[in-house]
Amino acid sequence: MAKKKKETDSKFEFALGKENYILLAIGFAIIIIGFLLMMGGRSNDPNVFNGEELYSFRRITLAPIVVLFGFMFEIYAIMKKPKTDNNLKTKN
């Protein structure tokens, strides 16, 4: 009986499956892309205000939508049930 306990103790499992971690990495990349889209708008002359560049569609609308999509994708990646061998055998 002690041998069985040691075997189960030595087996280490992650909370999520491999596919979930891949999806988390993809979601993180989407969020980074959204923040990169927000960058810019700097002027060479501090006395000149360029509102068209600063308040462009890319920075005000597109980038926040991309970031929100990235966060929603992260939630999906966490909530997705990982595929196990038992689930595949029972379905087939």
Interval 36-70: pLDDT, tens: 999 987 778 878 888 888 888 999 999 999 999 99
| Mean predicted confidence (pLDDT) in 21-30 | 96
> Model pTM greater than 0.95?
no
Extents of the domains making up the chain: 24-41+49-81
Q: Provide the sign of the torsion angle of the four alpha carbons 23, 27, 33, 37, taken in this order.
A: positive
| Mean predicted confidence (pLDDT) in 64-80 | 95
- What pLDDT, on the 0 to 100 scale, is given for residue 91? 57
Average pLDDT, the chain: 83
- What pLDDT, on the 0 to 100 scale, is given for residue 90? 58
- What pLDDT, on the 0 to 100 scale, is given for residue 52? 82
Check whether 8 has a pLDDT greater than 60: no
* Ramachandran quadrant class, 46 (left: phi over 0; alpha: psi -120 to 50; beta: rest): alpha
